[in-house]
Amino acid sequence: MKMFLFLALVVHSCVASPVSQSAVRTDITAAVNLALKAYLNSITDPVALASHIEYNIDAPLIADVLLTMDGATLGGVKNIVAENCITTGTGPSDIELHFNVPELMLEVPAYTMDGLVVDHIPLQGDGMASITIENLDISLVGKGTIQLVPFSVQFTEIALDLELLRWTVNFEDLAPGTDLGTVFNQFFSMCGPEIFDLLEIRLNDGDWLLNFINGIFSF
């Protein structure tokens, strides 16, 4: 997701002056938010994602579906804030960068979906779609060397964690010719946390996340 790119970019110029652990927590978070605000003022909301996205939803007992999205945009990104960003230790440090966004709106002018749900029910569809994501928490937690003036960090290990309150899915023309479209939309809406867990696992697999973040935050 493009969202993770700008979350990395916005903290590049942070400045903090550590005094105590509580002061460090406050100063780092305030600095991240200042940089975040400056960055968000420079972008257009909604943000255009990749022109063509393919995502295989492979969740046991939920869905084995290939989803494609063309022309997708993500709205609500200007409301992202940093919360409780901290670093502890000397030398290799424990580093935690936390972000929250109250609501994100994914708008898709054209999607296709093809596969099975609950292991045996065929599902197809194409048309317009929208997904509303409520109260999304994004955390980057790991170990590394951090420099506060100017803010930069080199991770030696890192993990991404995603948590959301709920999401609401609306795929138009899903299961055309039947009355099942509403049922499937309700079903996918209930499975938001499980599908986000799959996304989190894929992003944490291998060295991609570590190399990506270190490339953004290199000294």
SS3 state of residue 180? coil
- Three-class secondary structure of residue 97 per DSSP: strand
Specify the number of domains making up the chain: 1
Q: Which of 5, 75, 7 is nearest to 36 (CA)?
A: 7
Residue 203: per-residue pLDDT: 85
Q: What is the pLDDT, as a whole number, of residue 72? A: 97
CATH code of the domain covering residue 110: 3.15.10.30
Per-residue pLDDT of the chain (219 residues; tens, 9 = 90+): 444 444 434 333 333 333 344 445 557 788 777 777 877 888 899 999 999 999 888 888 888 999 999 999 999 999 999 899 888 766 668 888 899 999 999 999 999 999 998 878 899 999 999 999 999 999 989 898 777 666 667 889 999 999 998 999 999 999 888 888 899 899 889 888 888 888 888 889 888 888 877 776 655
Instruction: Fill in the DSSP letter of residue 61.
Output: T
pLDDT for 11? 35
Residue 52: domain span: 2-216
Q: What is the structure's pLDDT at 67?
A: 94
Q: How confident is the model at residue 218, as a pLDDT?
A: 59
Q: Residue 98 has what pLDDT?
A: 92
| pLDDT at residue 90 in the model | 61
Per-residue model confidence (pLDDT) at position 89: 67
Q: What are phi and psi of 96, to 5 degrees?
A: -135, 120
Residue-level pLDDT at 6: 40
Between the CA of residue 75 and those of 17, 48, 119, 141, 187, what are the distances in Å?
Answer: 34, 9, 33, 25, 23
